[in-house]
Amino acid sequence: MAAAAAAAPGALGTLQAGRARLVAACCARLGPGWRLPGSVTGPRVAPAVWARGWTPAAGGGSAPRRGYSSEVKTEDELRVRYLEEENRGIVVLGINRAYAKNTFSKSLVKMLSKAVDALKSDKKVRTIIVRSEVPGIFCAGADLKERVKMNPSEVGPFVSKIRAVIDEIANLPVPTIAAIDGLALGGGLELALACDIRVAASSAKMGLVETKLAIIPGGGGTQRLPRAIGMSLAKELIFSARVLDGQEAKAVGLISHVLEQNQEGDAAYRKALDLAREFLPQTIPTKDRLEGLLAFKEKRPPRYKGE
């Protein structure tokens, strides 16, 4: 991303076209007739159809229903949900930029930074799930359409802000889980790499594809990918800009769990939610921790309350 800072508008147009070809190729591998919102693989679809997100069922359960909107509001580009009842302590960060393939815009980066800043000092938060509210995509990296409109002096600081917010997520004091139910390319995969745990659907596609666009990963991927899968293999994937599906990503250790995608398109999110529930009673310091110690002393099953 840093190399793109000095790129002229014509070069950025080439980058946009290159990434569009990559996305189209990934869509082609998913099967005939499959396309993303505003994809180059087919005619554009009205915003009323594609501006969709997952609306949680009452109580934050794991069986969401699909919600539709005729317009996309900036404040809805990031949905922060504090789950309740048995899921109390779990916070879900849902990216919701369907019309832009969940790419990082100025507003989204600002909202992410603000949300993360609030979460890191909230003692009631135990686990954070990062997911997409848009079917078929996790995050496709930086918003190049927005970047081409920036002055050259704006690009460098914008790239630095993306890197900074990804670092902020990596430094959160509670467990973080990336639920990858679709495409995670470039900065999208770097976002997932910043999380402690990654789970993905088998149909998901992941890759640091920047080298195909004559740039390098600029959001921490060159450091975090080697830590996850080893230096040699990380170099191979970055140099080749190779895109892996869920099964391939699991085989190389990039993700912890791979699931067959369900009809709702949220298999990875549901697995992430199961893991988060499993983590809830293990976090320190909590009343549940004290209850666990007392139960051990009294030789009885613990009575956890999610507090």
- In the set 7, 140, 142, 267, the catalytic residue is 142
Cβ atoms of residues 289 and 283 within 8 Å: yes
Cβ atoms of residues 269 and 248 within 8 Å: no
- In the set 4, 141, 210, 267, the catalytic residue is 210
Tell me the C-alpha to C-alpha distance, in Å, between residue 264 and each of 51, 53, 54, 55, 63.
16, 11, 9, 12, 9
What's the CA angle centered on 239, arms 236 and 240, to 5 degrees?
80
Pairwise CA distance, residues 278 & 257, whole Å: 15
Question: Which structure tokens are listed for 2?
Answer: 């840093």
Pairwise CA distance, residues 304 & 307, whole Å: 8
210 catalytic residue (yes or no): yes
- In the set 190, 204, 220, 246, the catalytic residue is 190
Q: What is the dihedral of CA 9, 10, 12, 18, to 10 degrees?
A: 160
218 catalytic residue (yes or no): no
86 catalytic residue (yes or no): no
- In the set 60, 94, 187, 218, the catalytic residue is 187
Query: Which residues carry out catalysis?
Result: 142, 187, 190, 210
